[in-house]
Amino acid sequence: MGGGGRAVAASTSPRDPFGAPAAGRLAELGLTGDALAGAARAGAVLRLGDEVVLLPGADREALRILSALPQPFTPDQAGAALPASRRVAVALLRHLDGLGLTERRRS
């Protein structure tokens, strides 16, 4: 795991793969701008948009958990199942949708 991944891992609980550090914490760790972009390119972190940074593989773990939910499910149900904040759950759902692994339905 690269330096960015180690920094994110140090700021999250091993039992909480969906605990994204806040922007201020990322700044304390030196993961901003080019450093964060480099860590994402190197696969040391999973960057979901501008505000959510997780450890690599969090998206695969989310997909595993979400596939067990009754379909269709809401973002709130996804957040409860993961467990993740709504901010992280929505970012993960958008990421998985962008990869074609989930399908967004309009109500």
Q: pLDDT value at position 5?
A: 58
How confident is the model over 2-16, as a mean pLDDT?
A: 59
pLDDT digits (tens, 9 = 90+) for 42-75: 998 999 988 899 999 999 999 999 999 998 998 8
Its pTM surpasses 0.75: yes
How far apart CA 11 and CA 14 sit, in angstroms, is 10
pLDDT digits (tens, 9 = 90+) for 11-23: 555 567 898 998 8
DSSP string, 27-61: HHTT-SHHHHHHHHHTTSSEEETTTEEE-TTHHHH
Q: pLDDT value at position 16?
A: 78
